[in-house]
C-alpha cells in the first residue's frame, strides 16, 4: 500500500483528496492544525467505511514540520511514497488593501510551507527508490488578475520552485507535478471573497468580482481530488494538470498581448485601464 501525506486536509480540496485517496487504497496520512479538526476528518472517513491517519501540523512553523515529518516516518516505516502539498491561504484585495502581515502569511503558507515539507520528505522518497510530490498551485500561478496579487505571487513562486525541483530530482525517480485549479467551491474561496474590505476605494469593483466569481459556478473540490489521484497513479505524470471550467481559456489568454489582458480584466471589473491595450 502506497503512503501519501496530504497537508491541509481538513477542508476543501485537502479533505476531498484525503477521503478520495483513502477510498482508493492509499495509506493516507492527513495533516490537521488541531485535534478537533483531525477528529472530524477521521469521523468522515469512518462514515464512508475507510480509514486514514492524522498528524498535527502547522506548515508555517519549522519545528511543527520537523515533528510531523518524524511522525510520518514512524507511521509509514521509513517515510511516505508521496506528498500532496495542499495547505493554502488566500487574502484577496487590491495591493494597497492587503497588509504586510497578511501578505507574509500567504507567502509563508503557500511557498515556504510547501518547500519545508518537500525538503523533509525528499530523503525518504529517495530511499524508497522514487515517488511523487504534488504541489497544489492555481490558475493564478499562470495568470495574474486584479485583487489577487499576493495569492498569484505565491503561486507563481510555487510553480517556479516545482519546476526546479522536478528537474533536480528526476534522476532519483521523484516525479513532481503541479495541479492548477480554477475557481473551486471551498471555504478558502468564500473567505477570500469575504476578506475584501467594504470601505475600500475599490469596493464597487470588489462587489463586481464577487458577482463574477459566483456566476462562474465554481467547481466542486472532488474534481481536484480526482486529478490529484490521476497524478499519483499515472505511470508518467504530466508536469501540470488544470482543473475546472474556469481554466479552459487559460492557454489562449496566456498568448495574448499583456496590454489586451490588462484591458479586458480592468473592463470586466470596472477599473479604468491605465494604459492602452497594446
Catalytically active residues, by annotation:
151
Q: Which residue has 467594504 as its cell numbers?
A: 198
d(CA 128, CA 166): 17
Cell of 60: 508555517
The CA R_g of the chain, rounded to the nearest whole Å, is 19
Angle, helices 149-169/100-107, rounded to nearest 10 degrees: 20
d(CA 150, CA 237): 29
DSSP three-state, residue 232:
helix
d(CA 247, CA 240): 12
Give the helix/strand (H/E) hosting 212: helix 203-215
Distance of CA 150 to the CA centre of its chain: 14
Amino acid at each position: 500500500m502506497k503512503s501519501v501525506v496530504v497537508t491541509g486536509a481538513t477542508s476543501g480540496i485537502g479533505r476531498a483528496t484525503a477521503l478520495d485517496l483513502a477510498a482508493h487504497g492509499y495509506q493516507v496520512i492527513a495533516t490537521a492544525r488541531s485535534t478537533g479538526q483531525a477528529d472530524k476528518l477521521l469521523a468522515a472517513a469512518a462514515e464512508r467505511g475507510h480509514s486514514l491517519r492524522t498528524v498535527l501540523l502547522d506548515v508555517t512553523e519549522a519545528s511543527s514540520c520537523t515533528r510531523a515529518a518524524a511522525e510520518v516516518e514512524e507511521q509509514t516505516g521509513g517515510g511516505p511514497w508521496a506528498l500532496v502539498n495542499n495547505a493554502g491561504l488566500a487574502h484577496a484585495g487590491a495591493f494597497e488593501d492587503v497588509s504586510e502581515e497578511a501578505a507574509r502569511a500567504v507567502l509563508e503558507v503557500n511557498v515556504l510551507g510547501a518547500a519545508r515539507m518537500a525538503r523533509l520528505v525528499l530523503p525518504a522518497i529517495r530511499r524508497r527508490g522514487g515517488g511523487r510530490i504534488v504541489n497544489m498551485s492555481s490558475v493564478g500561478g499562470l495568470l495574474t488578475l486584479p485583487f489577487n496579487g499576493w495569492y498569484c505571487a505565491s503561486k507563481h513562486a510555487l510553480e517556479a520552485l516545482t519546476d526546479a525541483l522536478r528537474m533536480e530530482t528526476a534522476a532519483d525517480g521523484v516525479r513532481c507535478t503541479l495541479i492548477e485549479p480554477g475557481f473551486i467551491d471551498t471555504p478558502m474561496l468564500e473567505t477570500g471573497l469575504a476578506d475584501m474590505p467594504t470601505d475600500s476605494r475599490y469596493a464597487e469593483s470588489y462587489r463586481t468580482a464577487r458577482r463574477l466569481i459566483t456566476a462562474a459556478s465554481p467547481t466542486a473540490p472532488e474534481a481536484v481530488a480526482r486529478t490529484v489521484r490521476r497524478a499519483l497513479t499515472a505511470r508518467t505524470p504530466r508536469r501540470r494538470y488544470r482543473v475546472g471550467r474556469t481554466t479552459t481559456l487559460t492557454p489562449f489568454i496566456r498568448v495574448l498581448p499583456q496590454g489586451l489582458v490588462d484591458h479586458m480584466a480592468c473592463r470586466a471589473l470596472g477599473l479604468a485601464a491605465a494604459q492602452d491595450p497594446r
